[in-house]
Structure 1
Amino acid sequence: MKYSYQYPVSQYTRHSTYTPTTHYTPSLYTPKYYSTSSYSPSNYSSVKYTATHYTPPAYTPAYKSTSTYTPVFSKPTRQGSSHRAPAQRTPTVVVKPAKAVRFTNDVLFQDHVRHGELEMIGRFMRARKVRVDTIFQSGMAALHEAVLSGNLECVKLLIKYGADVHQRDEDGWTPLHMACSDGYPEIARYLLSLGASAEAENENGEKPADLIDPDCKELVKLFEVGCV
């Protein structure tokens, strides 16, 4: 044991003081210079390495593309020495504008009468562009056209501007013949009030009453014996 606990500390006595006998003087260490003996390696001749050129073997793909395949968007191949034929030009067709068709005043006036355009009829009459007794290409005058349209106001307007209630068309029909044949009792009554003749005959010898449809009771009653 390093310590003995049987004796008290006061009885513990150090041993005599240690006095080194000799002083240690380190000697200078002078290393010996290491001179390598002439080392002659065995005759070692390094083999000169000459690299050989590596040539990879020809690679042949497993999939062989068919020579007949032509992609859709591939550019067309140029034909050897053949020249490309110039594209044929389509001749330019010049369409000339159609000439404006101008109708005569008589044709325009007849159209206004058929459609009952009272304002336009009044303009033509006041400007004296047409004659109210003119026979149109249809073979009738303006008053005949107005009666056939069934427009009583147009009939009144034309009579106001001088239309004759006795005027005949190319077949000898009077406006009253037209009113009876087409079943317009109001127009027939108005014409009769202005003195239209119920005894007038056309080229076939027919009177206005002869052209009345028996089912048109109002006209039949208007032309009863003694009523006209």
Structure 2
Amino acid sequence: MKLQDKVSIVTGGGSGLGRSMCLNLAKEGSKVVVADMNLENAEETVKMIKDNGGEAISVEIDVVNTTQIENMVKTVIDQFGSIDILCNNAGIPGTGVKTAEVSDEAWHKVINVDLTSMFLVSKRVIPQMLKQGKGVIINTSSASGLIASEAGIEYTTAKHGVVGLTKQLAFDYGHEGIRVVAIAPGVIETPLTIKVGATGPEGILHDLTMKAPAGRYGKPDDIGKVVAFLASDDADFIHGHTIPIEGGSSIR
């Protein structure tokens, strides 16, 4: 119970990696705020946590809507009194096509959801963490934030941006008690990756993943367990870095 009585917010917590983060944070004793655009999914995650004896609430949120972000922060502080851990996890996939084929609309949408949202949410959570004198922010980048890939220029650029955002947040606030890190998952078996075809034999990332040292796709729990560790004091000396959790696919 390394996170006993801590309060965590997980964006995109209604499914996939976010759900695994929520479950593993709760397993370590954290109270969890499951924030998701799909309220039904968020409430399902909350039920899973409560069924295992944990404490959680759901919040419906669009992570690029500043009014909704501010309302979420107020709700969490009013109900729990603190925000100890923020997992900026909400995101969408890229188009998986080459640069000249990516529409301007697709570029802006992916950059906004996968990168700008992390700035918007962090900016509004940081004042509470500064008030507390302590906090942890964990940002979800990607193996595509470390190397070029077939995921698409808008996705690769956004996820590289998350790496830079993480470094700058750590630089700005590490001395004030806020520890900031990022994770770089590879292809994980989730409803989202299955939907875009990344896990099938003909999927856009199949060869890269299966040729990596691990020789398999990741499981959501591979991510959730690492996030719970990074949120704990056991990871207190890890600042500003992006931790690959991708079976070795980015070492090529």
Shorter chain as normaliser: what TM range?
under 0.3
TM-score (norm 1): 0.26
Structure (1 or 2) with the greater strand fraction? 2
Give the greater-gyration-radius structure (CA): 1
Structure (1 or 2) with the greater helix fraction? 2
